[in-house]
Amino acid sequence: MDEALLRSLTPSVLGVLVRRGADFAAAEDAVQDALVEAVRVWAADPPRDPKGWLVTAAWRKFLDATRADTARRRREDLVDEEPAPGPAPAADDTLRLYFLCAHPSLTPASAVALTLRAVGGLTTRQIARAYLVPEATMAQRISRAKRTVSGVRLDRPGDVATVLRTLYLVFNEGYSGDVDLAAEAIRLTRQLAAAIDHPEVAGLLALMLLHHARRAARTAPDGSLVPLAEQDRRRWDTRSVAEGIGILQTALARDRLGEFQAQAAIAALHADAPTTEETDWVQIVEWYDELVRLTDSPVVRLNRAVAVGEADGPRAGLAALAALDGSLPRHTAVAAYLHERDGDLPTAARLYAEAAHRAPTLAERDHLTRQAARLNTHLRP
């Protein structure tokens, strides 16, 4: 039983049901039921036409549910409509679902959950485990999200930016539970890139592939973080890097720069460098300048200060940092790093300990505490 195939068919099957006139919420439930049945039945009896099988099964489930409902008349109307699958090709169905599941009326958390279920074909239980919330909570979040978008018409173009933000959130969640969300985000972004020709979709896909390529090198066997400079670059996935760079180059050639392409360009420059020292930091600073122009984000300015520290020396980095709000997340950690590079170890040790105190994640806190400990051990008389 090929779960990947099964899940990749989810959006187009759902699209067929919606085009036949099923309302989105009921159709989505029916497709989930059909997926469960496919898992049960296909192992012993694989269908020749998996998509056709799923459409038939989902449609039957939908009719059963509708029949169980009081809306008998509506059901009879729908049965009459059944033979007409509609003219729209599958790619459009898929694209519409992406737009619907990331609709601006949804909160980011709801858009993420709905996308993973309706487009990704994950079960509510899998999504709940991945986000470490009870299954009942996730079920409520998804059904509320479905209600929110139930009045949205599917025949209008949606906003690509909200879809990309949603997929980016899924990617950043990383790995917990039995679902690899980063890999799932890549799969969904790849599928989106096949359905729509848009340089920022390509940019996001490239960005994900380039970051994903470094995953194995990013954590030590004991689970602690390994910063970029110390990563064993032989453990980077060169195939993923090559694919990411290829996609990025094609996107950049279209000369419609956006924030994901710029971020991917920075990731590509890191991926290209054999060591930190041989990294083209000057070009990275230039890309950060582009990103500042595109986003005007303080987080981008903070990252730029790190790159300036590498390109022009730690003093220049500290000068760039001085212009930024000290309460920015990770500001203290960056200051600690630049002071260490500048040779002021006591200040760096103190700032690392302070940064650990403010760290937003456990892994970062442990990492920063270790940095402080390393310097303090070194400084001890």
Question: Which residues sit at the interface with other proteins, rule CB under 8 A?
Answer: 222-224, 349, 352-353, 356-360, 362, 365-366, 369-370, 372-374, 376-377
What's the min distance (Å) between Cβ of 122 and other proteins? 23
Residue pair 120/184 in contact by the 8 Å Cβ criterion? yes
Judged on CB neighbours under 10 Å (0-12, 13-18, 19+), 149 is: buried
Amino acid found at 190: R
Cβ nearer to other proteins, comparing 218 with 365: 365
Rounded distance between C-alpha atoms, residue 151 and residue 23, angstroms: 9
What's the min distance (Å) between Cβ of 362 and other proteins? 5
Cβ nearer to other proteins, comparing 60 with 374: 374
What's the min distance (Å) between Cβ of 146 and other proteins? 29
What's the min distance (Å) between Cβ of 332 and other proteins? 13
| φ, ψ at 277 (rounded to 5°) | -65, -35
With the CA atoms of 320, 325, 331 and 335 taken in that order, what torsion angle do they form, in degrees rounded to the nearest 10?
50
Comparing CA positions, the residue from 237, 218, 241 lying closest to residue 228 is: 218
Place of tokens 């470094």: 214
What's the min distance (Å) between Cβ of 377 and other proteins? 5
What's the min distance (Å) between Cβ of 225 and other proteins? 12
Helix (H, G, I), strand (E, B) or coil at 273: coil
Rounded distance between C-alpha atoms, residue 32 and residue 207, angstroms: 31
Rounded distance between C-alpha atoms, residue 121 and residue 32, angstroms: 7
What's the min distance (Å) between Cβ of 354 and other proteins? 10
Q: At what angle are helices 50-68 and 72-81 packed, to 10 degrees?
A: 160
| φ, ψ at 88 (rounded to 5°) | -65, 135
Radius of gyration of the chain (CA): 24
Cβ nearer to other proteins, comparing 173 with 280: 173
Cβ nearer to other proteins, comparing 275 with 377: 377
Comparing CA positions, the residue from 88, 112, 86 lying closest to residue 98 is: 112
Cβ nearer to other proteins, comparing 188 with 353: 353
Cβ nearer to other proteins, comparing 101 with 128: 128
What's the min distance (Å) between Cβ of 336 and other proteins? 11
Task: Take residue 246 and report the two structure tokens written for it.
Answer: 């290829």
Cβ nearer to other proteins, comparing 94 with 371: 371
What's the min distance (Å) between Cβ of 125 and other proteins? 18
Strand partners, 225: 219
Q: At what angle are helices 362-379 and 345-358 packed, to 10 degrees?
A: 160
Cβ nearer to other proteins, comparing 215 with 358: 358
Cβ nearer to other proteins, comparing 288 with 352: 352
